[in-house]
């Protein structure tokens, strides 16, 4: 029995759990002889998954809202704790004997892979070295973070990625995650369309401004906020995070993306704007006009149809094909 050991980030900004669901389903479909063990601070969101062993375990990572004044001190303590974390995980590696250790975002599992001689793979759309470099000069502290990422055997990088040049070997893969549940889409539209046009509005977005603009176009509007309903809407107003953006891609939904001037959000929003399927704005109060929205929606239909395969295919199948060759 081949075994894969996965470490998932607990930060919502990373989209790790979102990608894992697609990867696990792909393993079940195309590599049923593989067992998967997940170690993460997250609680398993599914009651029963065959061939999956899930255990909650600490995996310290930076917060997207770090206090800049204390950032250097925090990183110093973070890096200092890596050796103790690795020593604690070595017993798991010895017991489980994985063929591959896959880290979705965090650097520590790559250090564990290096010290145990197991191939260490990275999956994600940014890394903490690049993220933290926005707030402080690259120094000895960040160099140490960089050196661990550089130890990865390969980094699997989907579209909407930023700052991944740090890895010695990068393998581009299609977007990972976000399959559309057609039955749910039809049911949501059946219930809502008699009441108005469905629009997705992310938390933190200026709802009053959104309602005003979309009512100029369509009159009655029904506002939705559940991510699983996003593929059913006419347009989405979202924060620049991997999970809602990939979900929008899968549903071919035009988006207004608010990036707040921080990476990887800025690059993600501008990439989608460049493809013709979104409008990028810095702050949630900068809602496009009804005319701008009409132009976006009219153009997005054709733009989605013309997307390159990296945006249309499911990257987890490629990952599994690579995994089975180990």
In a 13 Å sphere around the CA of 296, the CA atoms on its Cβ side amount to 27
CA 317 from chain centre, in angstroms, equals 17
- What is the mean predicted confidence (pLDDT) over 117-130? 97
Q: According to the model, what pLDDT value does residue 138 have?
A: 67
pLDDT tens digits, one per residue of 128-147: 999 999 888 767 789 999 99
Asked if 4 contacts 316 with a C-beta cutoff of 8 angstroms, the reply is no
| Range from 73-77, 143-147, 259-263 carrying the lowest mean pLDDT | 73-77
Using alpha carbons, select from 134, 84, 139 the residue that is nearest to residue 112. 84
Residue 217 has pLDDT above 90, yes or no: no
For the chain, the domains span 2-172, 182-312
Query: Which has the higher per-residue pLDDT, 77 or 69?
Result: 77
Q: Which long-range contacts (CB under 8 A, 24 or more apart) does 79-82 make?
A: 79/141, 79/144, 79/145, 82/107, 82/108, 82/111, 82/148
For the cut 80, the answer to whether the pLDDT of residue 283 exceeds it is yes
Q: Could you tell me which of 307, 196, 189, 244 has the C-alpha nearest to residue 236?
A: 244
Say which residue the tokens 């959000």 belong to. 265
pLDDT one-digit tens code per residue, 155-204: 999 999 999 999 999 999 999 998 888 999 999 999 998 998 899 998 87
Kindly give the pairing relationship between strand 154-157 and strand 120-123.
parallel
Please, are residues 167 and 103 in contact by the beta-carbon 8 Å criterion?
no
**Nearest of 267, 20, 309 to residue 161 by alpha carbon:** 267
Reply yes or no on whether the pLDDT at 70 is more than 80. Answer: no
At 261, the pLDDT band (50, 70, 90 cuts) reads: very high
- Rounded to 10°, the helix 290-305/207-218 angle is 80
CATH of segment(s) 182-312? 3.40.50.2000
- Return the pLDDT at 280: 98
Q: What is the mean pLDDT of residues 202-228?
A: 83
Mean pLDDT over 83-103 rounds to 97
pLDDT at 54 over 90: yes
Residue 177's nearest CA partner among 45, 23, 34 is 23
Instruction: Tell me whether the CATH fold assigned to 2-172 matches the one assigned to 182-312.
Output: yes
Q: What is the pLDDT of residue 64?
A: 63
**Where residue 66 falls among pLDDT bands split at 50, 70, 90?**
low
In this prediction, residues 81-95 reach a mean pLDDT of 97
Instruction: Count the residues in the chain.
Output: 326
Least confident of 46-60, 127-141, 201-215: 201-215
Phi, psi for residue 225 in degrees, rounded to 5: -135, 0
What are 223's two structure tokens? 């506002």
Residue 65: the pLDDT is 64
What average pLDDT does this structure show over 307-319?
A: 96
For tokens 């990068």, what's the residue?
170
Rounded mean pLDDT, 62-78: 78
User: What is the C-alpha separation between 77 and 74, in angstroms, rounded?
Assistant: 5
- Per-residue pLDDT tens for 241-257? 999 999 999 999 999 99
Query: CB count, 10 Å around CB of 318?
Result: 18
Q: Which residue has the higher pLDDT, 239 or 49?
A: 239
The CATH architecture that domain 2-172 belongs to is 3-Layer(aba) Sandwich (3.40)
Question: Of 24, 18, 22, whose CA–CA distance to 6 is shortest?
Answer: 24
């Amino acid at each position: 029995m081949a075994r894969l050991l996965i470490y998932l980030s607990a930060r919502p900004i990373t989209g790790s759990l979102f990608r894992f669901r697609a990867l696990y389903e792909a393993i079940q479909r195309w590599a049923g002889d593989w067992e998967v063990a997940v170690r993460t601070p997250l609680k398993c969101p599914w009651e029963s998954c065959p061939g999956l062993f899930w255990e909650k375990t600490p995996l310290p990572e930076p917060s997207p809202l770090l206090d800049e004044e204390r950032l250097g001190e925090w990183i110093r303590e973070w890096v200092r704790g890596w050796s103790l974390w690795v020593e604690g995980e070595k017993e798991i590696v010895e017991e489980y004997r994985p063929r591959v250790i896959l880290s979705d975002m965090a650097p520590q599992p790559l250090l564990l892979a290096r010290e145990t001689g197991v191939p260490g793979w990275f999956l994600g759309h940014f890394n903490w070295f690049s993220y933290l470099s926005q707030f402080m000069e690259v120094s000895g502290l960040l160099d140490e973070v960089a050196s661990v990422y550089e130890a990865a055997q390969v980094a699997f990088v989907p579209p909407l990625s930023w700052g991944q040049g740090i890895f010695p070997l990068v393998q581009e893969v299609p977007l990972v995650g976000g399959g559309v549940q057609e039955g749910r889409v039809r049911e949501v539209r059946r219930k809502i369309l008699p009441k108005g046009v469905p629009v997705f509005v992310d938390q933190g977005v200026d709802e009053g401004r959104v309602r005003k603009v979309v009512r100029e176009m369509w009159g009655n509007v029904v506002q939705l906020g559940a991510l699983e309903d996003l593929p059913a809407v006419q347009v989405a107003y979202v924060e620049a995070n991997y999970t809602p953006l990939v979900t929008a891609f899968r549903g071919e939904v035009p988006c207004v993306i608010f990036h707040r001037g921080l990476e990887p959000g800025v690059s993600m929003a501008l990439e989608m704007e460049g493809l013709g399927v979104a409008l990028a704005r810095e702050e949630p109060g900068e809602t496009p006009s009804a005319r701008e929205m009409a132009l976006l929606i009219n153009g997005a239909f054709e733009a989605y149809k013309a997307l390159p395969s990296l945006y249309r295919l499911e990257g987890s199948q490629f990952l599994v094909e690579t995994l089975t060759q180990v």
